[in-house]
Structure 1
Amino acid sequence: MIDEIFDRNYQAGRADLNAGIGRAFHRLGSGIGKSFKVLHNIQWNAPWNGNSRNAQCG
């Protein structure tokens, strides 16, 4: 009886741990992907290709 309760709690704890690790890796991957997208835009998008409304004289 005690072993069954322990096993049930252990399995629930492992499931929570695995879900937390999965969420952490997903958030980390998303952050890295967004960072690379921003760096790509900075490196390869020419400023003169933007909207003419956003151009500033000065």
Structure 2
Amino acid sequence: MYDLHDHVLMKKAHACGTNDWEIIRLGMDIKIRCSDCGHIVMMSRHDFDRKMKKILSHAAEAEG
């Protein structure tokens, strides 16, 4: 399962060309930030679950 500050791979690439996004808000809606250009997108949890391909890295692994 995903958590705050995890990096995820989305099915479709962003306009800047990357699929790597960081989760910056969790709740009923999920807010993600493009790792390349910094663009922020907010979508429902249902839409996020359908559009996410896989988790690239967990925030807990990066810290320690």
What TM-score does the superposition give when structure 2 sets the normalisation length?
Answer: 0.20
Question: Which has the higher Rg, Structure 1 or Structure 2?
Answer: 1
- Larger relative CO (CA 8 A, sep 6+): 1 or 2? 2
Kindly indicate which of the two structures has a greater share of residues assigned to helix. 1
Could you say which structure has the higher strand fraction?
A: 2
Q: If the length of structure 1 is used for normalisation, what is the TM-score?
A: 0.22
